Amino acid sequence: MPHDAPATPPGAILLATDLSARCDRALARALQLARQWNARLVVATVLPPRPVPPTAAGLPESSDPLAREHARQSVEWRLRRDLGDEADGVALDIHVGEGHVGRAVLQLAHETGCGLIVTGVASDPLFELPALGSTVLWLTRHSPLPLLVVHRRPRGPYRHLAVATDFSDSAHHATLRALALFGPPLKLQLVHALAVPGSALLGGDRTQALAQARRHADGRARDAQAALAGQLAPGQVQAVIADGDPVRLLRQHAGTDDPDLVVVGTHGRGALFELLIGSVARRLVAQLETDTLLVRDQRALPPEPVA
C-alpha cells in the first residue's frame, strides 16, 4: 500500500462559516487546531452573488457598490466579534467573499496555502435538514483538500479515530492523511461493512456467504493493521467488522464506542465508499453526529469540473 500522505500538519487552516450559531463549534475546533499546529487561521464567509436588476433599457446594471461594501464590513465586524479573545495568540486572516460558496472557498484555500478546510453543519430544528449540506456535499466532490465537518464542541485533541474502510489503497490513503493531521491517536478503529454479492445469495445460504465474506475481511484487516505497524502499536489498531448498511454501521459504532473523529475516504471500491454519492451522502452529512474528516483520493479519481 502506498505511503504518500503528507508527514506534517498544514501551516494554514481555512474555516468556512455562514455565521450561524451551530458554526461556533467549527470555529472552536479550528482555533484549537490552529494552536495545536501553530498554524495560521483563515476565516471565510461568502455573500450571495450581487444582484443585477435590468435597467429600463433592459440591460443589467451593478448593485450599489456602497451597499455591498457596507455588507462586507458588517460581516467582518461580526466575525471579529464572534472570535473575540478566543483568537488571542492565533495568526488570523478574515476574508469576505462573494458568489458560489464552494468555488469561493476552494479559491481562497488555494490562494492562502491552506491544507485543511473546516466547516460546520447547522441543522434546521423544524425539518432536520443541514443548512450547509449542499455546500458540504459540493466540497466533498470537488475539494482536493481534506474537509473536516464539525458537529461537537471540542474537548481537546482528537485521540480516538474511527476509519470507514473497504481496505483499498484509497482507504489507506485516508487513514494516513488523518494520522498526519492529528498525530498518533490513542486508538484507531478500522470500521468495515461486509459486502456480500447478490449472486452469492441467490439460491444460496446467506449465513455461509456472510461467513466467507467475514473470513476475507479478517484477512484484509490483518494486512491493514500490519501496514500501520510503523506508526501505531498493535494494540492501538482494532478492526470492527459487521454486516449491515454502511451509514447505519457508522452511526451505531459512533453511538457505542464514541470516537472523537470518523474518517471517510471519498473514493474507493465497495459499498462503504458509495457513501458520498446521491441520497446516501445526504444521510451521512445529516445523521452522523460525530466530527467527520472527508478525504478525497486525488490519485485515483480525477477532479470533476467545477463549472
pLDDT digits (tens, 9 = 90+) for 132-183: 557 777 887 788 999 999 989 999 999 999 998 888 888 898 999 999 999 8
- Angle value at C-alpha 151, between 140 and 162, nearest 5 degrees: 70
How far is the CA of 100 from the CAs of 107, 138, 164, 216, 306, in angstroms?
Answer: 11, 11, 30, 45, 11
Categorize the per-residue pLDDT at 131 as very low, low, confident or very high, splitting at 50, 70 and 90: very low
Categorize the per-residue pLDDT at 204 as very low, low, confident or very high, splitting at 50, 70 and 90: low
Categorize the per-residue pLDDT at 112 as very low, low, confident or very high, splitting at 50, 70 and 90: very high
Average pLDDT, the chain: 79
* 27, 83 Cβ separation under 8 angstroms: yes
Cβ partners under 8 Å of residue 80, min gap 6: 94
Q: Residue 47 pLDDT > 50, yes or no?
A: yes
Report the predicted TM-score, pTM, of the whole model to 2 decimal places: 0.83
pLDDT digits (tens, 9 = 90+) for 216-243: 999 999 999 999 988 888 789 999 998 8
Give the domains, in start order, of the chain with CATH numbers: 1-154 (3.40.50.620), 157-307 (3.40.50.620)
Of 185, 159, 162, the closest CA to residue 265 belongs to 162
Q: How far apart are CA 153 and CA 156, in angstroms?
A: 9
Please, which residues bridge with residue 47 across strands?
Answer: 98
Which cell numbers hold the place of 7?
A: 508527514
Q: Residue 95 pLDDT > 80, yes or no?
A: yes
Which conformational region is residue 194 in: left (phi greater than 0), alpha (psi within -120 to 50 degrees), or beta? beta
Question: Any idea which of 17-21, 120-124, 260-264, 283-287 has the lowest mean pLDDT?
Answer: 120-124
Helix (H) or strand (E) holding 47: strand 40-47
Helix (H) or strand (E) holding 163: strand 160-164
How would you write 111-160 as a 3-class SS string? HHCCCEEEEECCECCCCCCECCHHHHHHHHHHCCCCEEEECCCCCCCCCE
